[in-house]
C-alpha cells in the first residue's frame, strides 16, 4: 500500500465538501464507466478519489488489486456514514425519478434496478469500512491535496466529482485537482464523466486541457460503452507527457 505523507495536509486542505452527495457505485459499474480490464489491474496499486460509499475498493481487494479509497468523510463512524448514505440515496433517487428525461437507462433496465445496485455498493462498502482500523484502506482526504507520495499508484480514478459539481468548484480548483491526481500516479488518471449532471460538457474543458498541456500533462477524451445520465458516455484520461514538457521548455 502506498505510503502516506507525514504530516497529513492541514485541515484547511481537507474540507468535508458538504454539498457533494455521499453516493456510490459497484466495482462492476466502475469497470464500465472507467473502461477497466479488471484482470489487468491485479497486483497493481489503484487509488479511488472521492470514493464515497462505492464498493470498488472492497471488491477490488478480493480480486487481487491493491486498492485504496479517499474521501473527506472517512473520519466518521460506520453508523454515521450509513445514515448519511440512506439520506443521500433517498434524495438522489427522488430527483432522478422526478427528471427522467435527464437519464439514459442503457446500463440498467429501470431506476429500481439502478437503485438496488447502488444500495448494494453501499452495503459492501460499509462492511469493509467497519474494519478500516485493521486494514487502513479508507483515507480521509480531499482534493486538491492528497496525502500520498509522488507516483505512488499505477492508476488513479475519480468519478462524479470534478465536472459533475462544476458549479460548486471554480476553475482554479479543477486545474489544481487534475494536477494533484496526476502527481500521485505513475500511469493514468481516469475522470468520469466529462459533463455535469444535466449532461452539458464542462464549459472550461478546452482551457483546462490547454493549461494541463502547458504543465506537461496530456489529456484525451475517450468514449465509453456506458451512459446513465445524459452525456455521461466518455471519460477524461490524463497522463504525464515528456514530449509536451520538452515543447513547453522550448
Angle at 30 between CA 119 and CA 237, to 5 degrees: 145
Q: How far apart are CA 139 and CA 196, in angstroms?
A: 26
Residue tagged 475522470 (cell numbers): 191
pLDDT tens digits, one per residue of 2-27:
555 534 434 333 333 347 889 999 99
Residue predicted with more confidence, 245 or 153: 153
Give the pLDDT confidence of 119-147 residue by residue, as tens digits.
Answer: 999 999 999 999 998 899 999 999 999 99
Lowest-pLDDT range of 53-57, 67-71, 94-98, 153-157? 94-98
First to last CA, the chain: 38
Mean model confidence pLDDT for the chain? 88
3-class DSSP assignment, residue 85: helix
Confidence of residue 200 (pLDDT cuts 50, 70, 90): confident
- 20 in Cβ contact with 159 (< 8 Å): no
- 78 CB-near residues (< 8 Å, 6+ apart): 126, 129, 130
CATH class of 21-249: alpha beta
pLDDT at site 1: 54
Max Cα separation, the chain?
55
Delimit the domains of the chain by residue range. 21-249
CA distance 162 to 208: 12
What is the band of 29 on the pLDDT scale with cuts at 50, 70, 90?
A: very high
| Percent of the chain clearing pLDDT 70 (strictly above) | 89
Region 230-243: what's the mean pLDDT? 89
Amino acid at each position: 500500500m502506498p505510503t502516506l505523507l507525514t504530516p497529513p495536509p492541514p485541515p484547511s486542505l481537507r474540507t468535508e465538501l458538504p454539498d457533494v452527495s455521499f453516493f456510490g457505485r459497484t466495482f462492476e459499474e466502475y469497470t464500465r464507466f472507467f473502461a477497466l480490464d479488471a484482470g489487468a489491474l491485479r497486483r497493481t496499486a489503484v487509488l479511488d478519489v472521492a470514493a464515497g460509499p462505492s464498493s470498488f475498493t472492497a471488491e477490488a481487494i478480493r480480486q487481487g488489486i491493491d486498492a485504496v479509497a479517499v474521501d473527506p468523510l472517512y473520519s466518521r463512524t460506520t453508523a454515521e456514514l450509513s445514515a448519511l448514505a440512506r439520506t443521500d440515496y433517498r434524495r438522489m433517487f427522488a430527483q432522478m425519478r422526478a427528471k427522467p428525461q435527464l437519464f439514459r437507462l442503457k446500463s440498467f433496465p429501470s431506476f429500481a434496478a439502478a437503485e438496488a445496485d447502488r444500495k448494494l455498493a453501499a452495503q459492501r462498502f460499509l462492511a469493509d469500512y467497519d474494519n478500516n482500523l485493521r486494514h487502513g484502506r479508507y483515507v480521509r482526504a480531499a482534493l486538491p491535496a492528497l496525502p500520498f507520495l509522488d507516483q505512488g499508484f499505477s492508476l488513479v480514478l475519480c468519478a462524479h466529482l470534478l465536472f459533475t459539481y462544476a458549479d460548486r468548484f471554480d476553475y482554479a480548483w479543477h486545474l489544481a485537482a487534475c494536477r494533484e491526481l496526476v502527481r500521485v500516479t505513475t500511469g493514468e488518471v481516469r475522470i468520469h464523466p466529462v459533463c455535469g449532471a444535466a449532461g452539458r460538457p464542462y464549459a472550461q474543458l478546452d482551457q483546462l486541457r490547454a493549461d494541463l498541456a502547458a504543465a506537461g500533462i496530456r489529456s484525451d477524451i475517450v468514449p465509453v460503452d456506458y451512459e446513465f445520465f445524459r452525456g455521461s458516455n466518455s471519460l477524461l484520461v490524463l497522463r504525464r507527457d515528456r514530449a509536451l514538457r520538452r515543447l513547453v521548455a522550448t
